[in-house]
């Protein structure tokens, strides 16, 4: 849609609908407000945008079968979706090194004993018995199962980040081509209605030519402590640099919205707070060891988990959220790693990370990942030659410089019944749906995040990390 048509449908027509005026009258009103010096209070809606938001029920002519490798948090998200649409997809195998996790998922899906596995490698010791595998193991356990699955003829739903090294990422791409199999990368934000709408408005020409983007990923202080100081992604050498572990979604979204290759990237950032020299005097190694600073420390594990009940997914609580039970978990291995003082962990991930990118048409993007914020999500400002967009991760406002009438997109995805439980702004389930459809039809074109497009934003992330370490601007 060209800019004029877009303004006609979204501007004049939507304004007319909102005000109960015919389109011509609404257009005249818009012209009057354009002459005003101050911006009008009145905001019209962008919610009529025709987005590819459709039923989450997969459109398939057959049932596909899936093996879930890694029955943790993400594995359960996808398996939970599959269970709702048995005519299209069935979980027929489960692998997890934690026996109780494997059993729980296998029982829920009626998986026979011979297809319940421990380590991922056991899955591939038996002849191929399903259409696809979900690789939802930790970052450093993506490469080997994905490569083996492709070799054996499985399609793959692969959690992000693809793999901790650039070489491995590129090898997975080559392997997918070699065996002509589908690899869908879980860049779930591409499937979230908010980001679909944002991209659609930019593509429509509503802001003229896109010139630059300011994008921020506020991690939220307690989330940072949980995942990147105490938790699974605390150490960049054991997992993946935080720019990929946390922010490969953001690099991917920037590349996707700008819709041009990134040419150069320069990055900076460091670990400012979470290190031993910043520990307050007398702080013990664990919060559970009677810390004298417990009352004033915002990172106090007992307060975060037992009182606030945040990030409980890692404790295998089986629904029991009693504070004493959580405290007991904090005293028990392996869960006691989450009781560690944030100043006494084996972490090295930066807590602030800035990067600047230049794209092929000269567009620029500035991206900040920030640990020290009270909220999570995303904040995005998009500057165009004819307009501006300001978004907070759930709603955004479009400002057209000519009409000066702000228009708001604020569709509440959480209120669409089918999307209930679909995390990441609603993106989790549509990704799973598109994967099921792509495998059933053997058509990767049904996916927005194939390995071919996803690899590019990973390469941007590796270049950013090289730049952060070397101080040089890197070519992508
Ligand atoms: N798409 C997203 O937005 C998103 C969000 C969170 C996490 N992730 C990614 O998803 C992946 C999984 O994260 P998670 O939060 O579900 O972690 P998790 O720890 O909850 O689950 C991983 C599971 O893999 C199992 N596992 C480990 N090694 C194994 C092996 N050798 N064989 C079989 N199973 C093994 C673990 O026991 C665990 O149950 C990670 O790569 C993570 O970065 C993606």
- Residue 200 Cβ contacting ligand 1 at under 6 Å: no
Helix (H, G, I), strand (E, B) or coil at 352: strand
% of the chain with per-residue pLDDT over 70:
90
Tell me the mean pLDDT in the region 427-442: 97
- Residue 181 Cβ contacting ligand 1 at under 6 Å: no
pLDDT of residue 33: 37
Q: What does CATH list as the number for 64-187? A: 3.40.50.720
pLDDT of residue 22: 34
Which of 125, 136, 422 is the best mutation target for the ligand 1 pocket, counting ligand atoms within 8 Å of the beta carbon and taking the most?
136
- Residue 159 Cβ contacting ligand 1 at under 6 Å: yes
| Residue 461 binned pLDDT confidence (cut-offs 50, 70, 90) | very high
- Residue 160 Cβ contacting ligand 1 at under 6 Å: yes
pLDDT of residue 26: 38
Of 51 and 396, more confident: 396
pLDDT above 50: residue 31: no
71 alpha carbon – ligand 1 mean position (Å): 8
| Residue 48 binned pLDDT confidence (cut-offs 50, 70, 90) | confident
CA separation for the pair 469, 473 (Å, rounded) = 11
- Residue 423 Cβ contacting ligand 1 at under 6 Å: no
pLDDT above 70: residue 94: yes
- Residue 186 Cβ contacting ligand 1 at under 6 Å: yes
Q: Mind giving me the DSSP string for 131-187?
A: SEEEE-S-GGGSHHHHHHHHHTT-EEEEPSSS-SSHHHHHHHHHHHHHTT--EEE--
307 alpha carbon – ligand 1 mean position (Å): 26
Q: What is the mean pLDDT of the chain?
A: 90
128 alpha carbon – ligand 1 mean position (Å): 23
pLDDT of residue 30: 38
pLDDT of residue 43: 67
pLDDT of residue 16: 32
Q: Comparing C-alpha atoms, which of 302, 330, 301, 304 is closest to residue 317?
A: 330
138 alpha carbon – ligand 1 mean position (Å): 4
Nearest CA to ligand 1 atom 40: 138
Mark 202-231 as b/e (b = at least 16 C-beta within 10 Å).
Answer: bebbbbbebebbebbbbbbbbbbbbbbbbb
Tell me the mean pLDDT in the region 365-392: 97
Tell me the mean pLDDT in the region 469-473: 96
Which of 70, 185, 219, 424 is the best mutation target for the ligand 1 pocket, counting ligand atoms within 8 Å of the beta carbon and taking the most?
70
454 alpha carbon – ligand 1 mean position (Å): 19
CA separation for the pair 380, 190 (Å, rounded) = 15
Of 2 and 49, more confident: 49
pLDDT above 80: residue 40: no
Tell me the mean pLDDT in the region 270-297: 97
Q: Where are the domains of the chain?
A: 3-45, 64-187, 190-275+347-416+451-475, 276-339
- Residue 69 Cβ contacting ligand 1 at under 6 Å: yes
Of 239 and 68, more confident: 68
Nearest CA to ligand 1 atom 15: 73
Strand order in the sheet with 474-475: 44-45, 407-409, 396-400, 387-391, 379-384, 210-218, 364-370, 352-359, 262-270, 474-475
96 alpha carbon – ligand 1 mean position (Å): 10
- Residue 102 Cβ contacting ligand 1 at under 6 Å: no
Name the superfamily (CATH) of residues 190-275+347-416+451-475: Dihydrodipicolinate Reductase; domain 2 (3.30.360.10)
Tell me the mean pLDDT in the region 457-467: 96
Least confident of 50-54, 55-59, 102-106, 131-135: 50-54
Which of 71, 72, 172 is the best mutation target for the ligand 1 pocket, counting ligand atoms within 8 Å of the beta carbon and taking the most?
72
Tell me the mean pLDDT in the region 193-205: 94
| Residue 52 binned pLDDT confidence (cut-offs 50, 70, 90) | low
366 alpha carbon – ligand 1 mean position (Å): 30
74 alpha carbon – ligand 1 mean position (Å): 6
% of the chain with per-residue pLDDT over 90:
83
Give the atom of ligand 1 at the shortest distance from the alpha carbon of 101.
39
Q: pLDDT by residue (tens digit) across 357-370? A: 999 999 999 999 99
Least confident of 44-53, 169-178, 257-266: 44-53
Q: pLDDT by residue (tens digit) across 290-322? A: 999 999 999 999 999 999 999 999 998 988 999
pLDDT of residue 4: 53
Give the atom of ligand 1 at the shortest distance from the alpha carbon of 117.
33
8 A C-beta contact, residue 395 and residue 408? yes
235 alpha carbon – ligand 1 mean position (Å): 15
pLDDT of residue 412: 84
Tell me the mean pLDDT in the region 179-191: 96
- Residue 116 Cβ contacting ligand 1 at under 6 Å: no
Task: Give this prediction's pTM.
Answer: 0.87
Of 418 and 146, more confident: 146
| Residue 3 binned pLDDT confidence (cut-offs 50, 70, 90) | low
pLDDT of residue 200: 93
Tell me the mean pLDDT in the region 417-424: 87
Q: pLDDT by residue (tens digit) across 206-264? A: 999 999 999 999 999 999 999 999 999 999 988 899 999 999 999 999 999 999 999 99
446 alpha carbon – ligand 1 mean position (Å): 25
Give the atom of ligand 1 at the shortest distance from the alpha carbon of 233.
43
pLDDT of residue 54: 83
């Amino acid at each position: 849609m060209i800019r004029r048509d877009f303004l006609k449908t979204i501007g004049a027509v939507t304004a007319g609908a909102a005000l109960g005026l015919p389109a011509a009258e609404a257009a005249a009103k818009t012209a009057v407000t354009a002459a005003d010096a101050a911006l009008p209070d009145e905001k019209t809606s962008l919610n009529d945008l025709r987005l590819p938001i459709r039923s989450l029920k997969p459109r398939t002519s057959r049932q596909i079968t899936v093996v879930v490798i890694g029955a943790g948090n993400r594995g359960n998200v996808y398996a939970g979706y599959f269970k709702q649409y048995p005519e299209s997809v069935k979980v027929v195998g489960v692998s997890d090194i934690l026996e109780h996790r494997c059993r729980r998922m296998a029982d829920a899906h009626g998986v026979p004993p011979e297809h319940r596995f421990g380590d991922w490698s056991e899955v591939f010791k038996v002849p191929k018995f399903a259409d696809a595998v979900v690789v939802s193991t930790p970052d450093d356990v993506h490469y080997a199962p994905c490569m083996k699955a492709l070799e054996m003829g499985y399609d793959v739903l692969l959690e992000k980040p693809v793999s901790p090294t650039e070489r491995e990422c590129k090898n997975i791409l080559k392997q997918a081509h070699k065996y002509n199999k589908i690899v869908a990368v879980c860049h779930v934000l591409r499937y979230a209605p908010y980001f679909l709408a944002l991209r659609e408005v930019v593509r429509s020409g509503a802001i003229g030519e896109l010139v630059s983007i300011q994008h921020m990923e506020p991690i939220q202080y307690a989330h940072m402590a949980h995942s990147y100081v105490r938790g699974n992604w605390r150490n960049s050498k054991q997992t993946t640099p935080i720019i990929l572990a946390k922010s490969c979604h953001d690099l991917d979204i920037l590349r996707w919205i700008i819709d041009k290759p990134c040419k150069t990237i320069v990055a900076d950032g460091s670990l400012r707070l979470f290190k031993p020299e910043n520990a307050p005097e007398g702080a013990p190694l664990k919060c559970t060891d009677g810390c004298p600073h417990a009352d004033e420390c915002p990172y106090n594990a007992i307060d975060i988990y037992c009182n606030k009940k945040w990030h409980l997914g890692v404790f295998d609580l089986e629904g029991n959220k009693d504070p004493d039970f959580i405290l007991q978990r904090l005293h028990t291995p392996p869960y006691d790693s989450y009781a560690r003082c944030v100043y006494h962990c084996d972490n090295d991930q930066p807590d602030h990370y800035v990067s600047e990118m230049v794209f092929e048409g000269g567009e620029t993007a500035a991206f900040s990942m920030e640990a020290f914020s009270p909220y999570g999500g995303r904040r995005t400002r998009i500057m165009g030659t004819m307009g501006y967009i300001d978004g907070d991760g759930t709603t955004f406002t479009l400002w057209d410089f000519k009409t000066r009438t702000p228009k708001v997109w604020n569709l509440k995805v959480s209120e669409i019944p089918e999307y209930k439980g679909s995390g990441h702004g609603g993106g989790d389930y549509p990704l799973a749906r598109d994967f099921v459809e792509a495998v059933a039809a053997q058509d990767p074109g049904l996916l927005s995040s194939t390995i071919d497009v996803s690899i590019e934003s990973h390469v941007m992330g590796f270049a950013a990390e090289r730049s952060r370490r070397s101080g040089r601007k890197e070519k992508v």
